[in-house]
Every structure is written in C-alpha cells, then in structure tokens.
Amino acid sequence: MSAPRDRLPLPALIGVVIGAAIMVAPLLWTLILSLKDNAALMRDSATAFAPPWTLANYAAILRGSSTFHWLVNSMIVSLGTTAGVLILCSLAGYGFARLEFPFRRALFVFVLLGLAIPEQAVILPRHQLFAQLHLHNSYPGLILPGLVSSFGVFFMTQYFRAIPRELDEAAMLDGASRFTLFWKVLLPLTLPAQATLGVFTFLGSWNDYWWPLISATRSERFTLTVGLASSQMNYAQTSGLGFLMAQAIFASIPIFIVYILFQKQIIRAIAGAAVR
Amino acid sequence: MRRARVMALVLAAAAMLGSCHAGDRRTAISVQRFFGECDAAYGRNTDPATAEGECGIMTTLLNRFQAENPDIRLDLNIVAWPGYAQLTAQIAAGDPPDLVTMHQSMISDYQGRGLLEPVDALLDEAGLPPGTFTAAGRRGVTKAGHFYAMPWDTIGGLFHVNTKLMAQAGLMKSGRPVFPTNPDELLALARQFKARTGKPYFVQSEVNDPASDVHNLYSYLLAQDAIIFPDARHVRLRTPEAKRIVELFRRIEVEGLSTHHQDYPAALASFMHGEGGIFPVGTWVLGSFEQEAKTPGRPLYNAYAVYPFPHLWGRDASFVDGHSWVMPKRKRTPEQKAAVAHFFKFMAAHNFDWSRTGHIPAVEAVVESPKFQSLPHRKDIAPLALTGEQLPDYVQRQSAIQGLIGEELASAIAGTKSVDQALADAERRVDELLGQVL
Amino acid sequence: MNRTTRRYEGFLFVGPFLFLYLFLLVYPLILGIGVSFHRADPFGGRLWVGLDNYARLLADPVFWQAVVNTFKLTLLIVPPLTILALALALALNRATRSAAIFRGIFFSSSVLSVTIVTLIWRFILTPDGGLIANILHATGRDPIPFLSDPHLTIPALAIATIWWCLGLPMMLFLAGLQQIPPDVYEAAALDGAGRWTTLWRITLPSIRRTLILVVMMQTAAQLQIFGQAQLLTAGGPSGASRPIVLLIYEIAFGRWELGYGAAAAELLFMLVLAVTLVQYWAVTRREADA
C-alpha cells in the first residue's frame, strides 16, 4: 500500500475530527430524540439533551408497529434483487467475456447503452406495463426492475475477461462442458467481484424510493423507504417526534449490521475493482 | 454454494412470513384512509369515547368494527394525506382498495372517468336512505343523480381563538372575541394585538400547506359572489375581488401580524403553546384543541374558543368540503359488497363519535341531536353548516388546482411575486391544466 | 459438442439478462417516447398531440424553474462533494487503526436510505425545534428557516445530500490512491519534493481516471435528485427547490398529465446525456492535448 509515511499534519487532523463530528452529530441527535417521551418533545425538543430518557418508543415499535413489516419487505426485495443480479450478470458476463456468438460485440455495446438511460425515462411507462401485467404490490414487481443492471454485466464481464484463459483450456482438456467450466471453475474465482456487486446491488435496492413509492402502494407491501416517507408525511398526526426518530434508528440498524459485517469485503472489493 | 443455499432458505422463510394470510376464510375488504398513523397509542383501542383527534377516533372506530364483525377482515392501508397520488397509481395498476376516504371535491375527477361505483344500492341495504344525510353531505356526493360515496362529514374553515391572549390585547367583549367586519378593522385589531401582547395575531401554517390559503381565498370569493370557475375549463382569478383578498393576506405577512416559516405540525404546536391569537384552520382540530383547553397547566387551559370566519366582505359564506367513503370500481364478490354495506351502517351509526373531532357530521339525526349540540363550541360553529358552499360539480382536478393556486398565493404572500403576477400565473396554469383534461 | 451448438451457446448465457433488459428497459423507453407525443392520463386515455407537449414544456416557466434548480443543486453538490471526498481520502489513506475507524464513520451515512436521511435532516434543519435551531437558541439567536426560505432551501438540500453521499466517492478515491506504487513517492521524496508538490504533480494526476469517474457519476446522479427534495422541502417554497424529477412526479401523479410528464422525462434524459457527453469530450480533448 502506498500510504504516505509521515503523520497527518495537525490542521488536517483537526479537519478530519471536526468532519467526523459533523458526520456523527445528526445520528446522535436522532438517537437522543428517539429516547425521549413524545409529549415532552412536543413542548420543547431541547428537552432531549437532558434526562429522563426512555425506551418507550422502541417498545411501541416492537409491540406492533408496521416498521417491522416494512423491514421484512425491504429485506426480501433487496436480497431477491441481489441474488437475481448476481446470477444474471455472472451468466451474461461469462457469455460476453468468453464465448463467441453472432453479434456479441454489438450486443455488449447495446447493453452498455443501458448505463446511460436514467430511471425517469422508463419509470412511467414501466408503471403502466406492470399495471397491465398485474405486477404491482407484489415482490416480483419490486424485484424485477432491479435486475436490469447494465453496470452488473459490465462489471462481471471485465472481471471474467481478467481471468487467464489457461484455466479454461485446462478444464476443457479434462472434458468439462462450458457450463461446468463456468459453474465449478470460473465462478468461484469471481467471489470478490460478486461480493462487491452484491453489496452495491443490495444497497441500491435498499435505497430505492421512487419505484416502490408508485408500485407498492398498499401498506402491507411498503418497503422501509416508502413506509418511513409515509410516516414523515403523516407526522402531524402520528404519535410524535420520539416515535418517528425511533423508527429511523430502528430502520438503520439492519443496514448498519450489514455494513459492519461486510465492511472488509466492501473495501477490499472496491480496491480490487478499481484496479480493473 | 453454501451461501446460496443459506440465502435461499432465508428468502423462503421470509416469503412464508409474508404470506401468513393464506388460509384466512373471512371476507376481506381493503380499506384505505388518511388521517394519520397512531397505532402506537390507539392500536388496540376499541372505545371511541376515549379516543381523541382524527387519527385516534378513526383508528378506534376501525378497530371496533373489526372487533364487532369477526367474519369480516379489514385490510387497512394508511396513506399520507391526501393520498391521491397513491390512489391514482393503484387504480392505474388495476388494484384499487374496496373503500377509500376521499374529499367530496375530488369525487368528480374519479367519477367522471368512470372509476367509481355508485353506492345507492348499498346505502339502501345498510338502511341509510338519502334523507339520512345532511343537505351538504348529499350535495357533496351526488353526481349525475346518483350517490357515489357515503358522506362522512362536512369540513370548513374556522377561527380558533386563544381567548386569554385576546383578553390581554383588550379584544374580548362579554366573553366573546371582537371580530373585524372589514379588512381595515382586521388590520387594526391585529396591530393592537401585537402591540399589547408582543405576539402575532395569527398563527399560520405557511410552509408546504397550499390548502389553507386556497380555502380562505375561495371562502372570501364566494362571500363576494365572485364566479371562480365560470365553466369546466377556466378559472377566473384576475379579478378585483381576488386581488383584494390576496393583498390583505400579503399585508398581514408584511406587517408581521402572523407567525412565519411554520409548517402544519409547527403551527399546531405553536397555537397550543399560546404563541399567537388566532389559528385560522379548520374543523378537524377542534377536538384536539378542546382537549388542551380542558387540561390544567396547558397554555390553552380555559382559553379556547372557536368561530366561523368573520365576514370581511360581501355576505356570510364559506368554502366547505367534506370527507366521504368511495368504492373504486373493481370486481367484488357479493360477500364483499355485503361487507361494505355493513361498514356503511356501522360508520353511520358512529358518526357522532367522529363528530367529536370537530368536523360537522353528515348524518342529519346527529347534527340535530342534543348530544352533538351540547358538545363544546358546536353552537358557535353551527352557522358553518348553513353558510358553507362547495365548488360547482363540473370543476375537476380540484386537488391539483389547489396545489397550483396555493403555490402562486404563497409567492404573492411571501412577496416573491407581485399579487397581480401571482394571480395571472395561477389563472394561466389552472386554465392550462383544465384545458388538458381529456 | 459440435460447432453450431458452440456458436449459439453464448446466447444461453446472455439470454436471460437480455430478455429482461429488452422487456423492462428498452421497451418502456420506447413506450415512454410514444406517450410523450400524446395527451395521456393514468387511466388509459390517449390523444395524439405530436410535439405539443414539448412545445408547452419549453414555454413553461415552471419547467425552466425546475431546470435552473436542478443545475443549482448539481453545482452546489458535485464540486464540494468531490473535493471533500478527495481530501478525506488523502487524509485517511493510512494503515492505522484510527484511520480505519474514521473511514468507517465517513462511509456510514451512505448505507442509509433517502427517507431515513431526510427524516434525520428534517429535525436538524427545521426552525421549529431542530438541532441547529436549538443551538442557535442557546446562543441567543433566532432560528434559521432552512426549509422554507427560498434562498436557503437549495443549500439545505445540498448539505443533506453531501452528508449522505460522501462515502462512495471517498472509497473510490482511496482505491485509486492505493494503486499508486510506493516507489513513485520514494522517488519524489528523494528529489526533495515537498508535500504540496507531491500532491499536485504526482498524486492527483495518478488518480485522474477515478476523479473523472467520480465527477461524471455524481453529476449524472444529482441531476436526477428526487427524494430529498420531495420529503425535506416538497420542492418549496413555491417550487424554489423543485428539481426536474420532482416536477415529473407531480405532473404525472398529481396532475394526471402523463404525456406531459413523459415529455419532461425525455427532456431530462437528453439533458443528462448531453452533460455526460460534454464532460467526456472535455476530458478526452484534454487527454489529446496533453
């Protein structure tokens, strides 16, 4: 690693510390608001800075708020999308990288063009299309659009291209079929790429707002993003600020867990990806 | 590969969790409503008498219906007010709810495109002939000679008054606030209030709340007998009447006679903390404010009164709307239709409970009942039921129009545009919108 | 396996993805262009109007307001975001434990969804009991109406967005920095290059590709900003912070003017494409000159 050897100069260090404080302050504020009684906050939100604090808002969430349900929906959609993308893009990536077939180059460029197409150019007609197919308010309806990842195909194609061809040849000499070659030999070698693509796809799907907003309109299919948006807009008539902030913290916990668990992978994978 | 297997298991488990309704034999109807989400406080409450506020009472009523009708399952969906973007998306997707709360002013839009079912037969089945409902309620839901919704209430604008501060400002006489009878008097009283109490005369929610300005504009235009929508494709706002009204709103803002930069929750909290004299909002908060007024130690304790808008020009008139329950068109089984009829019957029977929010009931018998009339302040706001008017039937896209006009009014009030420019832009934009209606 | 089968085997691998790509991206794209030439409502009504929607859009001051807002937002977000991310990457490109912890802190906000971010920032910025308002109050000052003053709403959205999006560019820069071979630095040190010279002459040029990637990606992304504007300021006051995508949403689902909304979406598409191409041209031209 080519890291500079000397210590960070003091101004830079101060800058970083202040920056980190600014990064963390909003989260801390949200946390202490969530630990306050709603009525007290109604009177004056500055009461959050002093005791008494309470876990009542979290108890309310666990007791029967829809927050938990939204979380499950988000999990299902994000995991489904991630699995789908990894499978589809690995297959396609291998196809583009290793196999000769008519129009291969043209098709690859065709797929890459998808990188330039922004969401809003397709979201309204896609909504109408899914309406005709009765796919709204369903898990497939939320997962399918996320599977069309030109970036995923590009990424996996580059990764497959970088694997030396000798491995292919060795396996073929042993009589392996294309698919076995793909499945048993090459795919396992792409695990770092899978980890990166997987994490990015998961985060992207988790963050998705506009599509679930117009497709999952029944609260039983709300993802976390849509549910929290609905809570925000309902704020005046909801149970109060403390509860709303508790929902935010509660909603952040799973994703932070994922982040902490996969942090090493993310960093290693980004570093690896940038090399290609 | 182990990871893939683990993921598959997780997905399967989650899918099973998500489908725990499989095997439920009850008749299910999906009910969609706004009014907020307050399950944390009222999630299990089934006694409407102990509930307060729109959210509390609605949640409780629905809980109670569910409890009293174990053979019917209500699939509830709470949407953020007003929920029309979502309803539109649902109808476009071919999967609308069975019942949804809708403002009476919006019924034309959906009914005009054939997206709603007439409910006359179901109301009859529920034992609710047309005469059950108030004239205002009937007017609001009748289109092309049929009932397209069950009327639920009538909503109007009200002046909510902090009588303690008014007294401090010397604006109380014989227990009633002194109200202006013309715009100049309004400004004079407001200035006096500010001088004597140091607080703004008005508490207003100005941020992202186009509805209140537009409703006030409509009210005062109706009072001056101005024709707002001469036909289905045009609005008329470049009129001296409209200009007078908006100029008054601007004056109030310029002279600091109102709170600033507050959105709706902030304004609500502000009024309840006694930070202003009058909150010109509507019927739906009456119940909540009354509760504050009954609680010792609160700033509004024994300091609350409410009246219809004072009449500043022309005659006594105010713009009213109303809530109602509509049935979007979709395939339904006879059992589901029967369930809807039960729902109507139940809700009509509990109209009094709903009226505790402050809205004026749509069931005639409730309005006339001593029980309703003896609720606090109802006698004071009774005139609203008589002076309230809605917009003509042929006016479509009222929700979108409200947003457009509200945006322009907000510019005029904030001073970003001149009043003339704002009214001209509003007229142009609404005309364009209405011109585009298919 | 015979030759012919081998030739077409590739289709089996790329087929599934291609099918979805055609069906869920290309087909709606074409449909969308078609709808933009009609007057359409969400319930199936259609009336051919040719280029009328486009003409109306180009003459619509509200559309232009949204375009200006979108550019303002992008310009307020992308440069500071890039510079901050780069500065952090430079500062934290160390193998120490504390650097790793700081990196984690700066990346943590990126994993949150837009609705959580707006929830958090609403109660920081709101003059009515927000964190900043409380701090100002403690120092005896008046609250600042970040979410309702027409001059402050766009900066407010920019600040929240920068806070949210800092992580990924920082990580990309870190990856780029880590590819610079240590001998380059050693050679520079031997030549007596100071810290700033090293930075300017060696480090920055080495991560040029990453820099370009970050700027182009972020520009395209922020031109399409939606969630923060809808939830923090509702595009207000009176459209002062309403970007194009929010306008499209309001037109399509609030005003039921699907054709008009589709036309606006196509114009935005062309805008994003144009900006990306201009950036690409500017970069390759510099490369050619260099």
Q: State both tokens at B387.
A: 């002076």
* B424 interfacial to chain C (CB closer than 8 Å): no
In 3D, which of B115, B107, B111, B114 has the Cα closest to residue B89?
A: B115
Q: Tens digits of per-residue pLDDT, A208-265?
A: 898 998 888 887 889 988 888 887 777 755 557 888 888 888 888 888 888 888 877 6
B12: part of which helix (H) or strand (E)? helix B2-18
Contact criterion met (CB below 8 Å) for B279 and B157: no
Contact criterion met (CB below 8 Å) for B141 and B107: yes
Q: Which 3 state secondary structure label does DSSP give B417? A: coil
Phi, psi values for residue B298, rounded to 5°: -85, 150
A64 Cβ partners below 8 Å, 6+ apart? B39, B43
At B1 the pLDDT is 46
Burial level of C138, CB count in 10 A (0-12/13-18/19+)? exposed
The mean of the pLDDT values for chain A is 83
Q: How far apart are CA A9 and CA A21, in angstroms?
A: 19
Q: Tens digits of per-residue pLDDT, A52-95?
A: 888 988 888 887 677 888 889 999 999 999 999 999 999 999 88
Q: Looking at the predicted structure, is the pLDDT value of residue A166 above 90?
A: no
Which residue matches tokens 């934009």? B429
- How far away is chain B from the Cα of A209, in angstroms, using its nearest Cα? 14
In 3D, which of B230, B399, B386, B238 has the Cα closest to residue B318?
A: B386
Q: Which of B200-204, B421-425, C209-213 has the lowest mean pLDDT?
A: C209-213
Strand boundaries in B144-204, DSSP class E: 146-147, 150-151, 153-162, 172-173, 176-177
Tell me what percent of the residues of chain C surpass a pLDDT of 90. 49
Q: Which 3 state secondary structure label does DSSP give B33? A: strand
Strand boundaries in chain C, DSSP class E: 38-40, 46-48
At A239 the pLDDT is 55
* B408 interfacial to chain C (CB closer than 8 Å): yes
A vs B, Cβ pairs < 8 A, gives: 110
Please tell me whether the overall predicted TM-score, pTM, comes out greater than 0.95 for this model. no
Q: State both tokens at C131.
A: 């964190």
Contact criterion met (CB below 8 Å) for A223 and A211: no
Contact A83 B4 (CB under 8 A): yes
Contact B94 A134 (CB under 8 A): yes
Contacts of C239 in chain B (CB under 8 A): 407
- Which residues are B326's β-sheet partners? B100
CA A242 vs CA A39, A250, C175: distances in Å = 9, 12, 40
Work out the pLDDT band at B199, boundaries 50, 70, 90.
very high
Q: Looking at the predicted structure, is the pLDDT value of residue A5 above 60?
A: no
Contacts of B407 in chain C (CB under 8 A): 236, 238-239
Q: Which 3 state secondary structure label does DSSP give B100? A: strand
Q: Looking at the predicted structure, is the pLDDT value of residue B325 above 60?
A: yes
Which residue matches tokens 């009214």? B423
In 3D, which of A19, A92, A60, A16 has the Cα closest to residue A243?
A: A60
Q: How far apart are CA C280 and CA C216, in angstroms?
A: 8
Q: Which 3 state secondary structure label does DSSP give B279? A: strand
At B5 the pLDDT is 55
Contacts of B18 in chain A (CB under 8 A): 72-73, 76, 139
Evaluate the omega torsion of the peptide bond into residue B310 and state whether it is cis, within 30 degrees of 0: no
Contact criterion met (CB below 8 Å) for B353 and B49: yes
At A271 the pLDDT is 57
Q: How far apart are CA C167 and CA C218, in angstroms?
A: 12
Q: For residues B265 and A7, which has the higher predicted lDDT (pLDDT)?
A: B265
Nearest beta carbon to residue C150 from set B263, B416, B433: B416
In 3D, which of C5, C183, C207, C7 has the Cα closest to residue C90?
A: C207
At B434 the pLDDT is 93
Q: How far apart are CA C17 and CA B206, in angstroms?
A: 50
Q: What does the pLDDT average to over B223-234?
A: 92
Phi, psi values for residue C34, rounded to 5°: -60, -50
Tell me what percent of the residues of chain A surpass a pLDDT of 70. 91
Phi, psi values for residue A224, rounded to 5°: -60, -45
Q: How many other C-beta atoms are found inside a 10 Å radius of the C-beta of residue B85? A: 21
A189 Cβ partners below 8 Å, 6+ apart? A163, A167
Q: How far apart are CA C213 and CA C172, in angstroms?
A: 9
Q: Which amino acid is at B375?
A: L
Contact A234 B37 (CB under 8 A): yes
Q: Tens digits of per-residue pLDDT, A19-51?
A: 999 999 999 999 999 998 887 787 777 877 888
Which of A127, A213, A237, A247 to mutate against chain B (most B CBs within 10 Å)? A237
- How far away is chain B from the Cα of C84, in angstroms, using its nearest Cα? 32
Contact criterion met (CB below 8 Å) for B34 and B79: yes
Sign of the CA dihedral with B91 first, then B93, B97, and B100 last: negative
* B72 interfacial to chain C (CB closer than 8 Å): no
| Chain B: partners with 3+ C-beta pairs within 8 Å | A, C
Strand boundaries in B127-180, DSSP class E: 142-143, 146-147, 150-151, 153-162, 172-173, 176-177
Q: How many other C-beta atoms are found inside a 10 Å radius of the C-beta of residue A227? A: 26
Q: How far apart are CA B245 and CA C151, in angstroms?
A: 27
Contact B80 A230 (CB under 8 A): yes
Give the burial string for B88-110 (b: 16+ CB within 10 Å, else e): bbbbbbebbbbbbbbbbbbbbbb
At B19 the pLDDT is 44
Q: What does the pLDDT average to over C65-83?
A: 96
Angle between helices A104-113 and A150-161 (to 10 degrees): 140
DSSP B363: B
In 3D, which of C112, C29, C73 has the Cα closest to residue C245?
A: C73
Q: What is the largest CA-CA distance in chain A?
A: 77
Residues 58-87 of C with CB under 8 A from B: 61-62
* C234 interfacial to chain B (CB closer than 8 Å): yes
Q: Looking at the predicted structure, is the pLDDT value of residue B21 above 70?
A: no
Sign of the CA dihedral with A63 first, then A65, A69, and A72 last: negative
Q: For residues B325 and B397, which has the higher predicted lDDT (pLDDT)?
A: B325
Q: State both tokens at C263.
A: 């036309």
Q: How far apart are CA B187 and CA C90, in angstroms?
A: 60
CA C101 vs CA A1, A258, B219, C104: distances in Å = 18, 16, 60, 5
Q: How far apart are CA B188 and CA C32, in angstroms?
A: 56
Q: How far apart are CA A103 and CA A264, in angstroms?
A: 39
Work out the pLDDT band at A270, boundaries 50, 70, 90.
low
- How far away is chain B from the Cα of C85, in angstroms, using its nearest Cα? 34
Q: How big is the CA angle at C136 (ends C131 and C138), to the nearest 5 degrees? A: 95
Contact A16 C122 (CB under 8 A): no
Contacts of A238 in chain B (CB under 8 A): 36-38, 55
Q: Which 3 state secondary structure label does DSSP give B282? A: strand
Strand boundaries in chain A, DSSP class E: none
Q: Which 3 state secondary structure label does DSSP give C226? A: coil
Q: Tens digits of per-residue pLDDT, B249-306?
A: 999 999 999 998 888 888 988 999 899 999 998 888 888 898 889 989 888 899 999 9
Contacts of C43 in chain B (CB under 8 A): 91-92, 113, 115
DSSP codes of every residue in C67-96: HHHHHHHHHHHHHHHHHHHHHHHHHT-S-S
Q: How far apart are CA C251 and CA C234, in angstroms?
A: 14
- How far away is chain C from the Cα of B135, in angstroms, using its nearest Cα? 30
Q: How far apart are CA B190 and CA C175, in angstroms?
A: 63
What pairing do the DSSP bridges indicate for beta strands B72-78 and B27-33? parallel
Contact criterion met (CB below 8 Å) for B15 and A83: no
How large is the ipTM? Answer: 0.84
Contact criterion met (CB below 8 Å) for C242 and B383: no
Q: Which amino acid is at A219?
A: S
Q: Tens digits of per-residue pLDDT, C192-202?
A: 777 777 778 77
Q: Looking at the predicted structure, is the pLDDT value of residue A162 above 90?
A: no
Q: Looking at the predicted structure, is the pLDDT value of residue C290 above 80?
A: no
Contact C42 B88 (CB under 8 A): yes
Q: Tens digits of per-residue pLDDT, B72-122?
A: 999 888 887 788 888 888 888 788 999 999 999 999 889 988 999 999 999
Q: Tens digits of per-residue pLDDT, C148-159?
A: 899 999 999 999
- How far away is chain C from the Cα of B407, in angstroms, using its nearest Cα? 5
- How far away is chain C from the Cα of B195, in angstroms, using its nearest Cα? 20
Q: How far apart are CA A274 and CA B5, in angstroms?
A: 30
Q: Enumerate helices (H) and strands (E) in chain B, giving the number of each.
A: 21, 15
Q: Which of A186-200, B151-165, B405-419, C53-67 has the lowest mean pLDDT?
A: A186-200
Which residue matches tokens 């308002």? C133
